[in-house]
């Protein structure tokens, strides 16, 4: 370890008072860098840094983890040179911008996953019918759980649901798939309480968001929001236009909807990889 690096580590311990783990990360990253360039770290150039970072291999856990590792090592190097500049050890600042990790893909369920979950529901009573209707309704419409809980019977007309309580008080209309509508009507016909809201609890009051969460967690082991992602993902993979999906989800900006293009690209890649004849060339 060079004397400059030793001084920096001492600065982190005495002046900055960082935790033992944080100091260990700095020390390990900077020693690794110094060993890579085979000279004192104070003599490193921006090109040395870039070359060093390019050698970091991807982990098995995904590109996101790899970029976090790169950013941590880069942060250690930039911190050292900021310190060195203040100490007048060098007249240059090596400042390389960190990588921006890609957005993680939203979790979603397949059609088969949802079918298996629904099969667990006992529909011999109206509560079971409600649970099945709720899951299918969320999956068929992509509504936010708050929107679904505020939906009323009068909001449904000719197979469409008018969402009056959307984010930002924006209204939209969304079609309801036939299967989901059929189960919903069956539940509404057989429930024993009178209430304008679509989904109610055993006492006849409007179903709460927590109760909706408990229902989807019980049968699918996910939150209601995952059904919204499942709705959007199924449309994108089926070839739906992104602007149509944006309208159905009630996103104010297409940028919010564009996260689903990652899923579309991944699916296209897997399709080419599996079916293209060059795989056996």
Verify whether residue 206 is a known catalytic residue. no
251 has catalytic annotation: yes
Among the listed residues 167, 190, 218, 270, the single catalytic one is 167
**Residue 162 falls in the annotated catalytic set:** no
Measured between alpha carbons, how far is 144 from 163 in angstroms, rounded to an integer? Answer: 10
Contact (CB, 8 A) for 132 and 189: no
For the question of residue 11 being annotated catalytic, the response is: no
Has 276 been annotated as catalytic?
Answer: no
Active-site residue identified among 27, 73, 228, 229: 228
Whether 130 is catalytic: no
CA pseudo-torsion sign 48, 49, 54, 59: positive
Contact 48, 37 (CB under 8 A): yes
CB of 52 within 8 A of CB of 76?
no
- If one counts every other C-beta atom within 10 angstroms of the C-beta of residue 149, the result is 21
Catalytic residue among 27, 130, 229, 251: 251
| φ/ψ (deg, to 5) at 27 | -60, -45
Distance separating alpha carbons of residues 200 and 211, to the nearest angstrom: 10
Annotated catalytic residue: which of 152, 162, 225, 262? Answer: 225
Active-site entry in 144, 187, 191, 229: 144
Count of helices and strands (H, E) across the chain:
13, 3
**From 26, 139, 187, 260, active-site residue:** 260
Catalytic residue positions, numbered:
144, 167, 225, 228, 251, 260
């Amino acid at each position: 370890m060079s004397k400059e690096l030793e001084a920096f580590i001492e600065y982190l311990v005495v002046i900055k008072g960082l935790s033992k783990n944080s100091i260990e990360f700095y020390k390990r990253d900077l020693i690794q860098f110094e060993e890579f360039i085979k000279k004192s770290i104070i003599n490193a150039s921006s090109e040395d840094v870039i070359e060093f970072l390019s050698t970091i291999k991807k982990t098995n856990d995904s590109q996101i983890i790899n970029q976090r590792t790169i950013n941590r090592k880069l942060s250690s190097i930039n911190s050292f040179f900021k310190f060195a500049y203040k100490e007048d050890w060098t007249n240059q600042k090596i400042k390389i911008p960190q990588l921006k990790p890609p957005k993680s893909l939203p979790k979603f369920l397949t059609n088969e996953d949802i079918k298996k979950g629904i099969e667990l529901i006992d529909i011999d009573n109206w509560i079971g019918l409600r649970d099945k209707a709720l899951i299918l309704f969320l999956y068929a419409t992509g509504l936010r759980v708050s929107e679904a809980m505020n939906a009323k019977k009068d909001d449904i007309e000719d197979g469409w649901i008018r969402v009056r309580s959307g984010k930002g008080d924006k209204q939209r209309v969304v079609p309801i798939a036939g299967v989901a509508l059929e189960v919903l009507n069956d539940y509404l016909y057989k429930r024993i309480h009178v209430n304008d809201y679509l989904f109610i609890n055993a006492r006849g009051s409007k179903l709460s968001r927590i109760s909706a969460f408990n229902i989807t967690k019980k049968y699918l082991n996910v939150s209601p929001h995952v059904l919204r992602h499942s709705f959007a993902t199924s449309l994108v993979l089926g070839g739906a236009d992104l602007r149509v999906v944006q309208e159905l989800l009630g996103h104010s900006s297409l940028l919010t909807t564009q996260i689903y293009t990652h899923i579309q690209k991944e699916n296209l890649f897997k399709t080419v990889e599996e079916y293209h004849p060059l795989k056996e060339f």
